[in-house]
Amino acid sequence: MSEAMQAFRATASTVKMIGRTYDYKETLWLALSGSGVEFEFYGKRAEIAIKGDDRIASPAHQARIGIYVNGKRVVDDQVTEHMKTYTVLQSDTEAQITVKVIKLSEAAMSTVGIERIIVDAAGGIKPTAAQARKVEIIGDSITCGYGVDDENEQRHFSTATEDVTQAYAYQAAQALEADYSMVCYSGYGIISGYTEDDQKKTAHLVPDYYEKVAKSEGKFDRTLDPLTVSWDFDRFVPELIVINLGTNDDSYTKEHAVRQAEYADQYVEFLKCVRRNNADAKILCTLGILGGRLYPFVEQAVDRYGHETGDRNIATMEFDTQLASDGYGADWHPSKATHRKAAKKLVARIRELMDWK
């Protein structure tokens, strides 16, 4: 490293944290979709040292990252090494620079660490300013951006074609100029994960992991299971929480009235959990992009929750179901066009609900 270059750890004094992050062994670890950091400096060179986890040998599960310089993605890569340094800016002239590192793929498959940030900048680096608004989005594969970079619905899951920035939730947060945090897992639900054999998949329930940093097959620094770490809800206090869960449950509930009623019952309990950890946030419960058969039970759960608790700081919205004419991503997941439409509808509902102009 030349004399002009300075190395920094990614901490609250040097970067803005995006989503749920965790400092472990002098590295800032990212697991959930959209988690990352953003910082700014005045200088002419920047490098980011990235750590892989114990999933680097699994091509379909390797973490995918995006690194942006002044809004332009300059790195789009799957993490295949335990340590790799990316040169993200190299210039002969100094300029005002904003750098953002985003985990594009989801938590369940792998994690990634920011080991250090190296810059040629006399003033060092500092966090970018916080946005005036804060939103949390809780969801499944749709929120993760599953398969959005694959236009063949016959192909299956890979982190290489998963990009949260192309999904409705990230796009809505950008349009609202809001800082965000996402908690989303492909195939997960309220009472059952996605199933093809009519058996309830109870290992894939978002409520079981909502209060943890993340659930992942990858370990931070190849040693720490993020599921063993409780999330500190004081670190990010949203004004609005969007819940989009039920698509995977529907693969189990189908038209079974008892199962649908169980979904509504457990949805009420999850709302109580969300409220316990977020006392003042407005909650918006949504469903429908891949079908809305359970949406009436979302409405039922919200109504019952309100009656049981007296909490009326909650609302609902049904998304439009995707259209064949808009194409599909991998495994029949929403296309980029579908995500754009969903983001537009969600933004309009949020502006109305929150009186955000």
* Structural domain of 75: 5-127
Q: Are residues 120 and 149 in the same domain?
A: no
**What is the CATH classification number for the domain harbouring 331?**
3.40.50.1110
121/100 Cα distance (integer angstroms): 17
Q: What is the rounded CA–CA span in Å between residue 60 and residue 159?
A: 6
How many CB atoms are located within 10 Å of the residue 7 CB?
12
What is residue 3's predicted lDDT score, i.e. its pLDDT? Answer: 63
Of 127, 149, 179, the residue that ends a domain is 127
Same domain, 238 and 335: yes
Residues 264 and 166 in one domain: yes
Q: Are residues 183 and 261 both part of a single domain?
A: yes
245-303 pLDDT tens trace: 999 999 999 999 999 999 999 999 999 999 999 999 999 999 999 999 999 999 999 99
Residues 65, 165 share a domain: no
Q: Are 78 and 112 a contacting pair, CB within 8 Å?
A: no
Q: Do both 164 and 110 map to the same domain?
A: no
Q: Which of 77, 111, 127 is the last residue of a domain?
A: 127
Mean pLDDT, the chain, rounded, equals: 97
> For residue 180, is pLDDT > 90?
yes
Burial 187-216 (b: 16+ CB within 10 A, else e): bbbbbbbbbeeeebbeebbbbebeebbbbb
Max distance between CA atoms of the chain, in angstroms, equals 69
C-alpha 352: how far from its chain's center? 24
CATH number of the domain to which 23 belongs: 2.60.120.260
Phi then psi for residue 296, to 5 deg, are -60, -25
The total domain count for the chain is: 2
Examine the fold and report which residue of 80, 100, 127 is the final residue of a domain before the chain moves on. Answer: 127
Question: Is the per-residue pLDDT at 1 higher than 70?
Answer: no
- Cα distance between residue 298 and residue 282, in whole Å: 16
Quick one: CA torsion of 297, 302, 303, 306, rounded to 10 degrees?
A: 160
> Which pLDDT value is given to residue 4?
84
CA distances from 126 to 50, 91, 98 (A): 19, 20, 10
**Same domain, yes or no: 117 and 178:** no
Q: Give the distance, in angstroms, between the CA of residue 127 and the centroid of all CA atoms in the same chain.
A: 20
Please tell me whether residues 45 and 166 are part of one structural domain: no
Rounded distance between C-alpha atoms, residue 14 and residue 47, angstroms: 15
Q: What is the pLDDT of residues 2-33, one digit of tens each?
A: 668 999 999 999 999 999 999 999 999 999 99
Give the pTM.
0.97
Please check whether residue 33 is in contact with residue 164, taking contact to mean a CB–CB distance below 8 angstroms: yes
pLDDT of residue 343: 98
Same domain, 172 and 229: yes
pLDDT in tens, 213-227: 999 999 999 999 999
137 plus 181 within the same structural domain: yes
Other Cβ atoms less than 10 A from the Cβ of 233: the count is 15
pLDDT digit string, tens, across residues 99-109: 999 999 999 99
pLDDT over 70, % of the chain: 99
Strand, coil or helix: what is 336? helix
- Tell me: do 120 and 144 sit in the same domain: no
Claim to verify: residue 318 and residue 215 sit in the same structural domain: yes
Q: Which of 355, 352, 357, 350 is nearest to 135 (CA)?
A: 350
Tokens of 294: 């359970």
